[in-house]
Amino acid sequence: MYRGSIPQASMRATSDRTLFVSGSGIVQAEPDLANIQLGVVTQDQELTTAQQQNGQRMNDVMAALTKLGIDAEDIQTVDYTIYPQYDYIDGKQEFSGYQVTHTISVTIKQLDQTGLVIDTGVANGANRVSNIQFTLQDPELYYEQALTAALKDAIQKANLISSELQLQLDPVPTKIVERTQSTPAPYQTLTKAEAAAPPSTSIEPGQLQITANVDTTFQYLA
């Protein structure tokens, strides 16, 4: 499935009998890969205690995910921070302890497990869930389809312009320029779902939109 659009400014003929036309193509695809970030945040007045508590809880989270069938290579630490915490009492800053945050990225290859991964992570110690994203394992396949649609769109518009202006168009473009490839855009993405998840988390991946754009040059005879 695709649709094309072209800015009016891109449809122009020059004095050297050259026609410039832009084309676009859009393909919609169902995602087959999910990525989610699970975090453990702990606080204590003693840094060592906060780190130990955090490490134990994160180990429990990763062990539980492994039991679900998530490969170790699909679990990766993306952030580990330690921050001192302060309270403000009567306008004065007083040290209250340390906050330790450990965040992992989990790649899910079976999308129907996404909700289960969240529930399992939270049940085993994760208290932060964020950046749920749905992607494609082979985005290039769909981009090539969108690129083909974009070229067809440009050719169709060039033929339309030449017909309306009664020009004799060379059907083969003399130049084709591919614009910057776009990243698949999700129709639906959930982010920053923090704290405890409900007993059964339902996640809908929606669809992804892959777009390609080309600029083409044609020659014609009046």
Chain segment 6-55, per-residue pLDDT in tens:
344 344 444 578 999 999 999 999 999 999 999 999 999 999 999 999 99
Please state, rounded to an integer, the average pLDDT across all residues of the chain. Answer: 86
pLDDT in tens, 51-69: 999 999 999 999 999 999 9
Question: Which residues fall within 8 angstroms of residue 202, CB to CB, at 6 or more apart?
Answer: 115
Q: Is the pLDDT of residue 195 over 50?
A: no
Q: Is the pLDDT of residue 193 over 80?
A: no
Least confident of 155-159, 177-181, 209-213: 177-181
Does this model's pTM top 0.85? My answer is no
Question: Which residues fall within 8 angstroms of residue 108, CB to CB, at 6 or more apart?
Answer: 33, 34, 35, 36, 70, 74, 114, 117
Question: Fold for domain 8-31+138-188+199-221?
Answer: Translation Initiation Factor IF3 (3.30.110)
Q: How far apart are alpha carbons 17 and 218 in whole angstroms?
A: 9
pLDDT of residue 199: 55
pLDDT in tens, 88-131: 888 889 999 999 999 999 999 999 999 999 999 999 999 999 99
Higher per-residue pLDDT: 13 or 81: 81
Q: pLDDT band for 185, please (50, 70, 90 cuts).
A: low
Instruction: Match domain 33-135 to its CATH number in 3.90.580.10, 3.30.70.2970, 3.40.50.1100, 3.20.20.80.
Output: 3.30.70.2970
pLDDT in tens, 1-12: 444 443 443 444
- Residues 128, 103, 42, CA angle at the centre, nearest 5°? 65
Q: How far apart are alpha carbons 26 and 38 in whole angstroms?
A: 33
Query: Where are the chain's structural domains?
Result: 8-31+138-188+199-221, 33-135
